[in-house]
């Protein structure tokens, strides 16, 4: 995997050698046009429904393939090798996105997301293969299988309930963009640094899907 630069925050590329206990996930960052459309959805929700959601940081929207949590320097090389092995045997996946929607846990709204429609099964299969490969790395044997592929647009603030979810859903019905799509042709290993105003992401490594 090659070393990439910062995503959605300031700073330059990080060296391949990593510090211990980084909070990492595997993702594909969105191209500019799709990312800007996602940011516009979040802005429309904030403007029309009020300050009940927290948009993802500008320039950081992505499709998550696997969340690793805390990763030590010792584990990092093994993660890189597992991901690179799968990527070199995988082909790019063309996807299109559906209308934005609210994801809830029970009666509590959690996310505003844009689901993957066309290409969903092929992308999900790739994600499963990545998780199964990483499970062979010590301490990741129980890494959960991926959820349905999507892009997180915004997160609901604590205390939001069904009334707020319905308000946001009404806004989403009016702001759905048409024809959003992209090619998933690379993977990024991303560090997530939790800050008071939301997470900050830095892409540490990148590998192409090159079968």
How does the average pLDDT of the chain come out, rounded? 89
b/e for 125-150, b at 16 or more Cβ within 10 A? ebbebbbebbeebeebeebeebeebb
Mean per-residue pLDDT for 52-57?
A: 92
Instruction: Give the model's confidence band at 12: pLDDT under 50 very low, under 70 low, under 90 confident, else very high.
Output: very low
As a whole number, mean pLDDT of residues 91-108 equals: 95
pLDDT of residue 112: 97
Question: Considering Cα of 74, then 141, then 193, then 96, what sign does the dihedral take?
Answer: positive
| pLDDT for residue 26 | 98
SS3 42: helix
Confidence bin at 199 (pLDDT 50/70/90): confident
Residue 5 is predicted with a pLDDT of 55
User: Which pLDDT does position 202 carry in this prediction?
Assistant: 92
Interval 62-73 mean pLDDT:
95
pLDDT in tens, 110-139: 999 999 999 999 999 999 999 999 999 989
Contact 173, 51 (CB under 8 A): no
The DSSP symbol for 80 reads H
Task: Give the residue-averaged pLDDT of 3-21.
Answer: 48
CA distance 180 to 97: 6
């Amino acid at each position: 995997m090659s070393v990439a630069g910062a995503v959605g925050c300031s700073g330059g590329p990080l060296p391949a050698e990593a510090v211990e206990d980084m909070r990492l996930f595997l993702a594909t960052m969105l191209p500019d046009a799709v990312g800007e459309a996602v940011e516009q959805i979040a802005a429309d929700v904030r403007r029309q429904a009020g300050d009940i959601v927290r948009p993802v940081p500008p320039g950081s929207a992505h499709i998550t393939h696997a969340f690793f949590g805390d990763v030590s320097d010792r584990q990092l090389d093994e993660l890189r090798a597992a991901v690179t092995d799968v990527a070199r045997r995988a082909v790019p996946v063309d996807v299109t996105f559906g209308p934005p929607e609210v994801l809830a846990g029970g009666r509590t709204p959690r996310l505003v997301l844009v689901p993957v429609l066309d290409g969903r099964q092929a992308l999900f299969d790739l994600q499963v293969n990545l998780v199964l490969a990483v499970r062979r790395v010590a301490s990741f044997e129980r890494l959960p299988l991926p959820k349905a592929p999507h892009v997180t647009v915004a997160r609901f603030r604590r205390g939001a309930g069904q009334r707020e979810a319905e308000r946001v859903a009404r806004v989403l019905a009016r702001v759905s963009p048409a024809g959003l799509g992209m090619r998933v042709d690379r993977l990024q290993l991303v560090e997530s640094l939790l800050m008071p105003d939301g997470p900050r992401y830095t892409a540490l490594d990148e590998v192409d899907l090159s079968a």
